[in-house]
Amino acid sequence: MVSSLFKGIGIIVDDELESSDPKKNIHQIVSQIKEKEIPFLSYSSIPKGNVLNHFQNVSFILLDWRFDKIEEIEGVTMPDALGKEETKENIEFIHKIKETCFCPIFIFSNENIEDITSELAEEGLVKGANTDHIFVKSKADLVGETKLFDSIETWIKSNASVYLLKEWEREYFKAKNKLFLDFYKMNPSWPSILWKTFSEDGVNESLELGELISRNIHTRMTPFEFSKDVISTDIVHSQEELLAVLEGGRFTKSENLHENDISPGDIFKCGKKYYVNVRAICDCVPDRSKVGETIDDVKLYLIRGSIMKPKDLDESYNSGLGLFLEKDSQFIAYPIMDRKGIDFRFRNLELVTWKDVKGKRIGRLLPPFINRLQQKYALYSQRQGLPRLPSLSFPE
């Protein structure tokens, strides 16, 4: 499993790499990596500066926790005065890496493992469980034949997020390479051809080109077959954790959106009122037939909504169906915006210019939820009213 998942270059940071003593634990660990023919870059100290910007696609990072010359005795703990500064440097390094690349980080050390885990937990980097993307292990436990990869494989089998990341990466990189090779064979200048087309259409060229690439990569990715044994369902989680994960699948905050990317699903907060854009995406661009029109002039179709109280959410929810029981003139978006529920009512439609609300966007409702909202609104706007029945009595 490890060899198939860990495709790409690894990073090893350990001062003992400079030692010529083959009995050093790190050399025995590195020899196992070489046996698997996994390429890696080695550093004898924490990499600094702009070099970290080049770590975007690394497969894994193997990090020592102490770089002082100490005896290789398992469980040795460095004095606070000597280790505090190094701990701070290691923590800063991990934080910077997370900003550049989310990848497995293996901390293999001669230090006391519980102390290292405690220091990481204090910084919010681990929760002390196998689900963490940071794996802490004593070097002495990894010396000998295949112990390194046996330990990593055992860890991966209990770490669904790392397993999913690596499986997805493998298919993504294959699809990405195939996409660019296919288009290059069609015409080496294909980006220029498409850019000109988008420009003539009066749309955001960068956005459209990016979306075209994303769609084509997605269609080239092999259907996934994730291991049910790894992605176990018998895990314990709180209600808050469940809602946070559900929210991540249906809502993204404005900080993750391009400032001039307008789309159906954009949610705005104006005072105490909330609005969602339901205008078709093809109309969320400047009208090229109108000379001088810019992105600021684009008109949005906004439906007004209001925050739902927990009692209202509870009364609307059908646990048997796992759905909210909505009226034809209503759409309930939940959970979004830090586990809130918003009740959007279709009677409240407003035509608003982008320049008047762009600074008030707080996020976006994602597909397929925004698609469902648009479909419901389309049906509502074309509904046919029927005459009422008179007061009748029905025979038994």
User: Which CATH number goes with the domain that contains 336?
Assistant: 2.30.30
Residue 341 lies in a domain: yes
Residue 179 lies in a domain: yes
What string of DSSP letters covers 278-326? -S-GGGSS--TTSTT--GGG-EEEEEEEEEPPHHHHHHHEETTTTEE--
334 and 266: one domain?
yes
108 and 215: one domain?
no
Q: What is the pLDDT of residue 42?
A: 94
Q: How far apart are CA 42 and CA 62, in angstroms?
A: 9
Residue 237 lies in a domain: no
CA angle, 99 then 175 then 61, to 5°: 35
169 and 144: one domain?
no
157 and 212: one domain?
no
23 and 110: one domain?
yes
Residue 148 lies in a domain: yes
Q: What is the pLDDT of residue 66?
A: 85
Number of domains in the chain: 3
Q: How far apart are CA 138 and CA 73, in angstroms?
A: 10
DSSP 358: G
114 and 174: one domain?
no
Written as six digits, the tokens of 243 are 């809602």
Q: What is the pLDDT of residue 72?
A: 46
Give burial (CB, 10 Å; 0-12/13-18/19+) of 257: middle
74 and 185: one domain?
no
Residue 35 lies in a domain: yes
195 and 206: one domain?
yes
The amino acid occupying position 391 is S
Give burial (CB, 10 Å; 0-12/13-18/19+) of 322: exposed
79 and 45: one domain?
yes
- What CATH number did the domain enclosing 46 receive? 3.40.50.2300
SS3 of residue 196 by DSSP:
helix
146 and 179: one domain?
no
Q: What is the pLDDT of residue 2?
A: 66
Residue 242 lies in a domain: no
Q: What is the pLDDT of residue 79?
A: 56
Q: What is the pLDDT of residue 329?
A: 95
Residue 244 lies in a domain: no
17 and 125: one domain?
yes
Q: What is the pLDDT of residue 71?
A: 46
Residue 243 lies in a domain: no
Q: Which domain holds residue 354?
A: 252-381
Q: Mean pLDDT by 10-residue block, N- to C-terminus, for the chain (396 residues)?
A: 77 91 88 91 91 89 78 51 79 91 90 90 80 86 83 84 88 94 97 92 81 92 82 78 94 93 96 95 84 91 96 94 94 96 94 97 97 96 84 70
86 and 169: one domain?
no
